[in-house]
Amino acid sequence: MQLTITPSALEWFKREIQLESGMGIRFYGKVYGKTQVHDGFSVGLSVDRPEDPLVKTTVSDMLFFIEETDEWFFKRYDLIVDYDKKLDEPTYVFEESKE
């Protein structure tokens, strides 16, 4: 599994979220909503301290991660976090993992 943050998404996160030392942006599965691969679930995000990351990436000193407890939601997929200019919010693209 890979976690990719596009440059436009990174700019949104830098503008909207201030991270304290040791904190990062966590992506997780939450009830309600829909993704391109899930009915009844959507992607949530929170500012959190990683405890047991399944995957993590640091871009321009910002940490992004998914915890092991959320493997059920992301299993078999890579997550690409992009930005929707019209809605002024992140968007999430699931691609089948090549691993």
The 10s digit of each residue's pLDDT in 72-93 is: 878 898 999 999 999 999 999 9
Sequence spans of domains, the chain: 3-96
Q: Any residues with CB less than 8 A from the CB of 6 and at least 6 apart, and which?
A: 80, 81, 82, 83
What integer pLDDT is reported at residue 5 of this predicted model?
Answer: 97
Question: Which band of pLDDT confidence, cut at 50, 70 and 90, is reported for residue 1?
Answer: confident
Phi, psi of 40 (to 5 degrees): 85, 0
Q: Which amino acid is at 43?
A: V
Out of 3.40.50.720, 1.10.3210.10, 2.60.300.12, 1.10.3660.10, the CATH code matching 3-96 is: 2.60.300.12
Tell me the three state secondary structure of residue 14. Answer: helix
The arithmetic mean of pLDDT across residues 55-76, rounded, is 92
The tokens describing 41, both together, are 């679930």
| pTM (2 d.p.) | 0.89
Instruction: Single out the residue of 32, 55, 7, 35 nearest to residue 24, CA to CA.
Output: 55
pLDDT tens digits for range 5-59:
999 999 999 999 999 989 999 999 866 656 555 565 678 899 999 999 999 999 9
Cα–chain-centroid distance for residue 15?
A: 16
Q: 97: how many CB neighbours lie within 10 A of its CB?
A: 13
